[in-house]
């Protein structure tokens, strides 16, 4: 399989690694939203969060906390976004699970607005039930 993040995570392609352990490599995004934008890559291939094991998902988000703290100190940023996209519709462009850690500065040019969906409290409650029933 020709997966760029597999090659980077396994060290087959050079990258700006800031952290590495048995399970993960953390690199700098090649096209950062802000300077200090990091990507957490598992070393085993999973296209998205559905394919990643619970154990690695847990470890990945624990690592995101550690990286967020380091990014905050290194950049002295005002905030940090932790993002993880699944599927093209959700903005995923590289189909190997990764977590973005993005430092945010007052007045920066990063656009992450959600907009808002027109709905009502009954629909929200009904959807809550559907989600519960799928856990
Ligand atoms: P996503 O849209 O969530 O799939 O994010 C993919 C991210 O990977 C983007 O922010 C890209 O800039 C970044 N990216 C793509 N190729 C590379 C690469 N070779 N090295 C580092 N980052 C990359
Ligand atoms: Zn991969």
* pLDDT digit string, tens, across residues 56-96: 999 999 999 999 999 999 999 999 999 999 999 999 999 99
* pLDDT digit string, tens, across residues 13-60: 999 999 999 999 999 999 999 999 999 999 999 999 999 999 999 999
Question: Quick check: CB of 81 below 6 Å from ligand 1?
Answer: no
For residues 18 and 26, the answer to whether their CB atoms sit within 8 Å is: yes
Question: How high is the pLDDT of residue 113?
Answer: 86
Question: How high is the pLDDT of residue 31?
Answer: 97
98 labelled catalytic: yes
Structure tokens at 2: 């020709």
Sheet holding 24-28, edge to edge: 17-20, 24-28, 38-42, 99-104, 79-83
The residue whose CB lies within 8 Å of the most ligand 1 atoms, and thus the one to mutate among 4, 17, 39, is 39
The chain-wide mean pLDDT, for the chain, equals 97
> Residues 15-52, buried b or exposed e (16+ Cβ, 10 A)?
beebeeeeebbbbebeeebbebbbbbbbbbbbebeeeb
CA-proximal residue: ligand 1, atom 1 (nearest): 92
Atom of ligand 1 nearest to the CA of 93: 4
């Amino acid at each position: 399989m020709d997966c760029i993040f597999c090659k980077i995570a396994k060290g087959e392609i050079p990258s700006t690694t800031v952290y590495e352990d048995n399970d993960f490599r953390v690199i700098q995004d090649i096209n950062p939203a802000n300077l200090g934008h990091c990507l957490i890559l598992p070393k085993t291939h999973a296209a998205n969060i559905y394919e990643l094991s619970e154990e690695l998902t847990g470890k990945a988000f624990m690592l995101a906390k550690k990286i967020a703290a380091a990014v905050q100190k290194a950049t002295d940023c005002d905030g940090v976004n932790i993002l993880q996209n699944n599927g093209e519709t959700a903005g995923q462009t590289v189909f190997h699970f990764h977590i973005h850690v993005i430092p945010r500065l007052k007045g920066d040019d990063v656009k992450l607005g959600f907009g808002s969906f027109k709905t009502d409290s009954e629909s929200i409650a009904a959807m809550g039930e559907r989600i519960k029933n799928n856990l």
